[in-house]
């Protein structure tokens, strides 16, 4: 394991440490640091960010931050936050044609609740999908740690029976993902391929960055050669170049796939890709539960650590 892999694993561990979280949240982090990655805690903050992004010709998908909910009231609150968000986006004319969609975590909608957790989360997701459909847009189901992969894919199958445009997320660091790509590379299937941002054991996932990159390319080949709609979620210039080459080899129209990047990361490259005629979608998180999200962003790109630490050391 090289130094970057060690740092990544350490940051993923920190994302689960409540005591460290308390220190970070109480530190004098400048507002600009957090807002580089999260536009704000309120719906108005993210609607403003999505409006600006749409004005530059880019698409977006919005995530209301939170996961691993074990309280029914909180799961209902998350559902209601998405319904209110979609209504606001629709009223601003941002949902038509899928300009802005939303990304859901089933664990935030109640999947981990005792008893009927899976049904509760699925029912909440259905309500969100119904409103999204009426607003002219769609939904993507975010993937979480490997213990929920099968449950998430089962929910995907159920939702697609009524909402066929619901998107899936697959994580290249899992050994199983090539097979999942083959299963989902069919007509009408929207698949976001990312590297993966959770700490997973060696029994289920590649541990080195080099192996994850190789898996990403293998998975991307399957998706580009399939009949679905690949969503290339990466900030890696080399992988982005490979994605373009694979799309060309497969004879894909630029409208038949898209690139995706996170809010606040490589914004100029996002605009460059959009300006050249390719589709670029920005993943925008918002809400109070930013800590775990921020730590995973640090883990994905360790160069972000210095940016963040400089902010921690700076008075607001």
**Closest C-alpha to 297, from 265, 250, 249, 256:** 265
Residues 121, 75: contact at Cβ < 8 Å? yes
- Indicate if 157 belongs to the active site: no
CA angle 292, 298, 304 (to 5 degrees): 140
**One-character DSSP codes across 99-153:** SEEEEE-GGGGTTTSTTTHHHHHHHHHHHHHHHHHHHT--EEE---SGGGHHHHH
Question: Distance (Å, rounded) from C-alpha 217 to C-alpha 242?
Answer: 8
Of the residues 63, 90, 142, 297, which is catalytic?
Answer: 142
DSSP assignment letter at 262 = E
- Indicate if 142 belongs to the active site: yes
**H or E segment at 170?**
strand 168-171
Residues 193, 219: contact at Cβ < 8 Å? yes
Of the residues 8, 192, 296, 297, which is catalytic?
Answer: 192
Catalytic (active-site) positions: 142, 192
């Amino acid at each position: 394991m090289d130094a970057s892999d060690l740092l990544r694993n350490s940051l993923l561990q920190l994302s689960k440490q409540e005591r460290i979280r308390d220190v970070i949240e109480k530190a004098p982090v400048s507002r600009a640091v957090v807002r580089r990655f999260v536009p704000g805690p309120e719906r108005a903050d993210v609607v403003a960010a999505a409006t600006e992004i749409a004005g530059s010709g880019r698409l977006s998908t919005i995530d209301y931050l939170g996961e691993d909910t074990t309280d029914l009231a909180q799961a209902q609150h998350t559902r209601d936050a998405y319904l209110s968000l979609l209504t606001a986006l629709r009223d601003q004319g941002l949902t038509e044609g899928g300009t802005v969609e939303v990304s859901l975590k089933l664990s935030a909608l109640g999947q981990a609740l005792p008893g009927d957790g899976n049904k509760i989360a699925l029912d909440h997701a259905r309500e969100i999908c119904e409103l999204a459909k009426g607003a002219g847009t769609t939904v993507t189901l975010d993937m979480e740690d490997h213990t929920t992969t099968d449950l998430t894919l089962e929910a995907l199958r159920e939702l697609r029976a009524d909402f066929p445009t619901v998107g899936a997320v697959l994580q290249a660091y899992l050994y199983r993902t090539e097979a999942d790509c083959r299963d989902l590379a069919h007509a009408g299937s929207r698949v976001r391929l990312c590297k993966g941002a959770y700490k997973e054991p060696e029994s289920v996932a590649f541990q080195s960055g080099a192996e994850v990159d190789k898996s990403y390319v293998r998975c991307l080949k399957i998706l580009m050669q399939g009949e679905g709609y690949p969503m290339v979620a990466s900030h890696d210039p080399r992988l982005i170049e490979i994605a373009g080459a694979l799309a060309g080899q497969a004879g894909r129209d630029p409208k038949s796939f898209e690139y995706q990047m996170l809010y606040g990361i490589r914004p100029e490259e996002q605009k460059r890709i959009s300006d050249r005629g390719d589709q670029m979608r920005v993943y925008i998180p918002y809400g109070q539960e930013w800590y775990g999200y921020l730590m995973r962003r640090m883990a994905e790109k360790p160069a972000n650590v210095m940016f963040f630490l400089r902010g921690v050391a700076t008075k607001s």
